[in-house]
Amino acid sequence: MQIASTANEPISNEIRVLGVDTGGTFTDFVYYRQGKLVIHKVLSTPHAPEQAILQGIKDLDLNKQLEQLTIVHGSTVATNAVLEKKGVKTVYVANTGLADVLTIGRQARKELYNLCPRPESPPVPRALCYELNCRVDAQGKRLQILTDNELQQLHDFIIQQQPESIAINLLFSFLDEQDELRIESSLKKAFPELFISRSSEVLPEYKEYERGIATWLNAWVGPRVQGYLHRLTRAVLPAPLAVMQSSGGTIAAEKAADQAVRMLLSGPAGGLAGAKYIAGQNNNLLTFDMGGTSTDVALIEGELQLTSEGHIGEYPVAIPMVDMHTIGAGGGSIAEVDEGGVLQVGPESAGASPGPACYGQGGQQATVTDANLILGRLSADAPLGGSLSLDKKAAEQVLGQLAKSLSLSVEETASGIIQVANEHMSRALRVMSIQRGIDPKTLVLLPFGGAGALHVCALADNLQMKHVIVPVHAGVLSAFGMVVAPHTRDLSHTLNALLVGSEVIDEQLKVLADRGILELKSEGISKSQMTCHYSVDLRYLGQSYTLNVPWSETSEALALASEAFHALHKKRYGHLHDQPVELVNVRVKVSAPPIELTLPELLPAKDDPIIAAQRVISGIDDPVPVYRREELRSGHQLTGPALITEQVSTTWLAPLWQCTVDSIGNLVLKKGSEQ
């Protein structure tokens, strides 16, 4: 599938960028050449993701123009390897007595009152854990020296086990990395084929369990990612290849190959980067990406919000990543009646196969997509995604069975399914706004993904939000985000000290900044293009968790950081403490802007928008006008109720809502008198 956007500007040969987002079903492409966007999709090839990418490049006729092209890629290789537990054989190296740290974890139970929980396999089998007799204390003082004999015994162990990678995680390595460096150097000389990951490089922060998991994850899936990126890099030569990181910035593929753990939210991060760019001056956004299986919710306050307390599957990931809340509510979420006779929707999904009943592939359970079809918000006459015809009779059959058990009509049941799904998503939106002390009425709601725009008006109503932006090309926003993402490095280090002096803080920040600048320089980026953003993780003395606040390069840095921390603690938790403030980590983000783009503009509207059809919608007395989004022009205004269809998604403009098409094709929705 390929779509070209209309532009008024002449096409230039100066800038050519290809954003590629590899998903489970489709691989999306957004090709930008000054003044023009081309959108393309091909079926993904999970066994070898690079094959779909090369096919898309060929389809776009770019394989003969690679020397003029820059490619930015969002990959699910690392994510899928973790979720499917398909990492490589990895040896975990720790201090004597600490080989079980990853197995013990935080001793948190999934089911608090289950006295007989099902045993779970440890991240690293005990047979692959190796302990070394070396130690530094909490002040970085050396207590036990690492001997050559210890290293030789480690070599013998590796020869015996024949692993593909090594994860080194020594106690207090963020204070003194000498032992880890010595182990790494020794292993590289003896076993040059091994992938080696050390904690003092991956995550030089306190909390040994989280640091150890990050280091092990990097080693566990690193060879998979490294092999894939090396194959792709060679295949697209001479085009430079960059990769999206979980933090929302890009990194050169050759660097990313050694930092697999930083790619675990590569695709979703691209979507947020695209949302931020598309929204323009609307800096405060609440986004939700609704797909077939799940919905990802995130908050953007000027910049992408990052967290170091994220999770991938069952594993905590302390590497900075976009702060998202994910729930099992999507177009394929299954509706059923529980034992108490109550309608439930999700978290289980019909998936892509067999999918919702209306897909006509044998699905036997009602889903959110089936409900939207029954209500008339989707049409059996308009193929989903441009190719998938919908079977309304199959949807009526499965909803009829559900309606009978609820003693409701089919349409009432469909409406109930939508209401329950909307409430699940509204709850997720509240988690990222109200529960963080932020009034959602001050934010702009921005949906993307194939199903988001069908539900956006109802979600805005539930949170009393009156401003919505449905972005142009919402169905491929993650791939677009690859094109507009900045080049970044996120660096951190633990200090663990009371917030009493700024000299040591400034010195450590400079060390991190210099390292980030050097890495970006190696990618051909000029220092004059770079900016450094400093921040610190603070907490009250005695607390376990931190809040991140900016750090200024001024004589008042301490006072400003302390004041910002108190204010954020009050906003987030509703109270303050009369306790000293402790600094835990210092953080630096070194960034350089992406290639400057000019998005193609729509032609201005000269006449009223063309009504393509009329459709009967459940709950609406009169037939509702249907507009084709590709036929809308800048300045067109629509009044709900109405449907706005496009090849990859549909927007339901509810009653009392109005829509204005902006200059680049975004649908700007406002409620009532706000128009």
Taking only the tens place, the pLDDT of each residue in 653-663 is 999 999 999 99
Fold of 86-219: Rossmann fold (3.40.50)
pLDDT tens digits along 545-591: 899 999 998 889 999 999 999 999 998 888 999 899 999 999 999 99
First to last CA, the chain: 35
pLDDT of residue 12: 41
pLDDT of residue 351: 67
pLDDT of residue 99: 94
Mean of the pLDDT values across residues 630-643?
94
Residue 592 neighbours by CB under 8 Å, 6+ apart: 486, 487, 488, 520, 525, 529, 530, 531
Amino acid sitting at position 352 = A
Query: Contact at 8 Å (CB) between 175 and 140?
Result: yes
Query: Contact at 8 Å (CB) between 640 and 457?
Result: yes
CATH 3.30.420 intervals, the chain: 2-82+226-266
Q: Is the pLDDT of residue 148 over 60?
A: yes
CATH 3.30.1490 intervals, the chain: 487-592
What six digits make up the tokens of 439? 């009034």
Q: Is the pLDDT of residue 449 over 90?
A: no
Q: Is the pLDDT of residue 353 over 70?
A: no
**Strand positions, DSSP E, 5-137:** 16-22, 26-33, 36-43, 70-74, 90-95, 129-132, 135-136
CATH 3.40.50 intervals, the chain: 86-219
For residue 7, name the pLDDT band (cuts at 50, 70, 90): very low
pLDDT of residue 9: 39
pLDDT of residue 352: 61
pLDDT of residue 646: 87
Query: Contact at 8 Å (CB) between 163 and 89?
Result: yes
The pair phi, psi for residue 310, each rounded to 5°, is: -80, 175
pLDDT tens digits along 113-138: 888 888 888 999 999 999 999 999 99
353 by Cβ neighbours in 10 Å (0-12 / 13-18 / 19+) ranks as exposed
Question: Class assignment of domain 487-592?
Answer: alpha beta
Express as a percent the part of the chain with pLDDT over 90.
65
pLDDT of residue 675: 44
Mean of the pLDDT values across residues 315-325?
91
* 286-321 core/surface letters (b: 16 or more CB in 10 A; e: else): bbbbbbbbbbbbbbbeeebbbbbebebeebbbbbbb
Q: Is the pLDDT of residue 472 over 70?
A: yes
For residue 3, name the pLDDT band (cuts at 50, 70, 90): very low
Q: Is the pLDDT of residue 664 over 60?
A: yes
pLDDT tens digits along 182-228: 999 999 999 999 999 999 999 999 999 999 999 999 999 999 999 99
Q: Is the pLDDT of residue 6 over 50?
A: no
**489: which strand partners?**
590
For residue 395, name the pLDDT band (cuts at 50, 70, 90): very high
Mean of the pLDDT values across residues 623-638?
95
Cβ contacts of 145-151, under 8 Å, gap ≥ 24: 146/179, 146/182, 146/183, 151/182, 151/183, 151/186
pLDDT of residue 422: 94
Question: Class assignment of domain 2-82+226-266?
Answer: alpha beta
For residue 24, name the pLDDT band (cuts at 50, 70, 90): low
pLDDT of residue 95: 96
**142: which strand partners?**
136
Q: Is the pLDDT of residue 35 over 80?
A: no
Residue 234 neighbours by CB under 8 Å, 6+ apart: none
Query: Contact at 8 Å (CB) between 30 and 483?
Result: yes
Cα separation of 601 and 472, whole Å? Answer: 11
pLDDT of residue 293: 74
Average pLDDT of the chain, as a whole number: 89
pLDDT of residue 446: 95
pLDDT of residue 119: 81
Mean of the pLDDT values across residues 259-267?
90
User: What SS3 state is found at 50?
Assistant: helix
pLDDT tens digits along 78-101: 888 888 888 999 999 999 999 999
Cα separation of 28 and 53, whole Å? Answer: 9
For residue 4, name the pLDDT band (cuts at 50, 70, 90): very low
Higher pLDDT, 588 or 314: 588
pLDDT tens digits along 268-300: 899 999 999 988 777 799 999 887 777 889 999
Cα separation of 406 and 557, whole Å? Answer: 62
Cα separation of 229 and 542, whole Å? Answer: 44
